[in-house]
Amino acid sequence: MDNAPTQGDRANLSARPAGSLADRAQRLGLDLSPEALSGIATVEAGLADHMERLNAEVAHIPPLAQHGPAIGAIVDAVKGRQQTPRDIALSALAVAREANRDLSCFTRFFEARALADAARVEARLARGEDPGPLAGVPYAVKDLFGVAGEPTTAGAQSRETAPPEADDCEAIRRLGDAGAILIGSTMMDEYAYGFVTVNSHYGTTKNPHALDRLAGGSSGGSAAAVAAGLVPFALGSDTNGSVRVPASLCGVFGLRPSHGDIPTEGVFPFVPSLDTVGAFARSAADLALVHAVLRDRAFVGSERALRIGWLDGYFTAPLDPSLRARLDTAITSIGESPPITLPEAGRARSAAFLLTAADGGRGHLGRLRQHRDQYDPSTRDRLLAGALLPDDRRADARRAARAFAVALDEAFDKVDLLVTLTTPSEAPAISDPRFSLGGEWVDARRELGLFTQPFGLSGVPAMSLPLPSPPGTLPIGLQLIGPRGRDDLVIEAALRLAQAGTVAPSTPPYYRTSLPC
């Protein structure tokens, strides 16, 4: 989320008291050169519009019978002794290594770990035990999940020498208990601060639908790996949209659960008050199964009709006509769907920007004091600018967050769920990471989270579902939002929309798999 200043922002910045930024840095124990202060000032200027904004201003879907996930094909093959977990693991590793030369979606491969996981499943089978609901299913995790025996690098080169983790994080432990096989870690923006998975240390993850396009971020490696068929599912984290944005651009299903629903223990933090553990899959049914394992509670479907409203105003006004047409097609398919306006959405997005910068920056303050030179310059300047934000700006942001939560509660008094597009653009070009928004060309890293950030701020569950892609287009996601704690409604609606054909993943030109999924 770069914060490039506008001309007006620069004017506002120049009117501030001279030396105020340096004074704030000194109070925090930061000895910054004039060049460093200049870079931070540029980022701070980009936050000015968000500061100013804070100071300004139902469909019926028939019930669906449960159906089996594609993951079930692997589990059935393992339980039926048609394939061994070891063979599946080795095959997945071989295909992923080969594809990674083109996609740059993995950072490390865990062959020894994968074979150990496979052996554990085989031992259960030999003892006549149930090997688990994910028996033999290979998967990958974003490079900030703690893996026993490996350093948690969080996309940062400086953390390659971090001590290895003594234990798996809780999410990986639960997946292992369910029989899943971990094959590797995936690419991300440094410290999860971005929407593009462009990493100055490790490279740029490419979109399997077009290798010259961005995969989105910050969990872009996981999304690309699932879209390309390398693994049936993968884990990511979502603070402001880091699961939903790449799910949209890569054309897969991606769920941000209610905040706190899945433990983040052992996951490298970015903004703990917003961070969540999410997952990607190529079907809603697969995602429902993985989510049930992660939350350690079975998914129970609903038999009642669901009311879905679509969000207008902030969420439709800037859309390109072709994207608005795809949204309208989805709304028509849903049926009787009333428009809902959330006038606080723009302020909520600004609040998310500021809280992310402030809390993320303060979380890194100790490392920034000692090791600023080890950060990507863009990440460093955004974190420093956030750490230096005055406390009254953080208070403004928290007030805006509370106001948006009230507006959301009022909307959910009228409908069960809400829909928007997940992103305001298809995948931008890697060579020119911009897109058209409301008639202006804007920076992808900054603006791809336009529609996801308000809901990350509120802690509600939200899923990106892939809309059908007409010829000559790239994927775009439909964002489905539910009340906090009602992840079950989001999953139920996703299953029904998939059954109805309203949403469906498309197979990308770059698809490489040897798995029965």
What are the pLDDT digits (tens) for 169-206?
A: 999 999 999 999 999 999 999 999 999 999 999 999 99
The per-residue pLDDT for 140 is 99
The residue with greater pLDDT, 50 or 167, is: 167
Point out the catalytic residue in the list 104, 219, 237, 242: 242
Point out the catalytic residue in the list 104, 185, 218, 458: 218
Fold match, 49-301+510-514 / 308-487: yes
The pLDDT-based confidence of 517 (bands split at 50, 70, 90) is low
> If you ran DSSP here, which 8-state letter would residue 190 be given?
G
128-143: pLDDT as tens digits:
999 999 999 999 999 9
3-state SS class at 232: coil
**Class of CATH domain 49-301+510-514:** alpha beta
- Superfamily of domain covering 308-487: Amidase signature (AS) domain (3.90.1300.10)
Four-CA torsion 313, 315, 317, 318, nearest 10 degrees: 160
How far apart, in whole angstroms, are the C-alpha atoms of residue 319 and residue 393?
30
Inform me whether the pLDDT recorded for 2 exceeds 70.
Answer: no
CB under 8 Å to 207, separation ≥6 — which residues?
A: 213, 214, 215, 216, 224, 227, 249, 250, 427, 474, 508
The per-residue pLDDT for 464 is 99
Q: Respond yes or no: is residue 242 known to be catalytic.
A: yes
Mean per-residue pLDDT for 251-265?
98
Q: Give the residue ranges of DSSP H helices in 186-335.
A: 220-227, 244-250, 284-295, 321-334
How far apart, in whole angstroms, are the C-alpha atoms of residue 281 and residue 287?
5
The per-residue pLDDT for 153 is 97
Secondary element (H or E) of residue 123: helix 111-126
Phi/psi of residue 380, nearest 5 degrees = -55, -50
Structure tokens at 318: 């800037």
Q: Respond yes or no: is residue 38 known to be catalytic.
A: no
The pLDDT-based confidence of 32 (bands split at 50, 70, 90) is confident
Inform me whether the pLDDT recorded for 514 exceeds 80.
Answer: no
3-state SS class at 202: coil
- Strand 339-340 to strand 308-311: parallel, antiparallel, or no bridges (unpaired)? parallel
The per-residue pLDDT for 386 is 96
428-448: pLDDT as tens digits:
999 999 999 999 999 999 999
Inform me whether the pLDDT recorded for 155 exceeds 90.
Answer: yes
The pLDDT-based confidence of 63 (bands split at 50, 70, 90) is very low
Inform me whether the pLDDT recorded for 57 exceeds 90.
Answer: no
Secondary element (H or E) of residue 352: helix 345-363
Say if residues 60 and 406 touch (Cβ distance below 8 Å). no
Global pTM value: 0.89
- Domain residue ranges in the chain: 49-301+510-514, 308-487
- Strand 276-281 to strand 233-238: parallel, antiparallel, or no bridges (unpaired)? antiparallel
Four-CA torsion 468, 433, 319, 9, nearest 10 degrees: 160
Mean per-residue pLDDT for 93-115?
98
Let me know how long the chain is: 517
Q: Respond yes or no: is residue 218 known to be catalytic.
A: yes
Point out the catalytic residue in the list 142, 258, 464, 506: 142
The pLDDT-based confidence of 45 (bands split at 50, 70, 90) is confident
379-389: pLDDT as tens digits:
999 999 999 99
Phi/psi of residue 382, nearest 5 degrees = -70, -40
Query: pLDDT exceeding 90 applies to what percent of the chain?
Result: 82
The pLDDT-based confidence of 36 (bands split at 50, 70, 90) is confident
The per-residue pLDDT for 55 is 60
How far apart, in whole angstroms, are the C-alpha atoms of residue 23 and residue 186?
39
Q: Which residues pair with 65 in a beta bridge?
A: none
- Number of C-beta neighbours around residue 195 at 10 A: 33
How far apart, in whole angstroms, are the C-alpha atoms of residue 421 and residue 443?
18
Say if residues 365 and 336 touch (Cβ distance below 8 Å). no
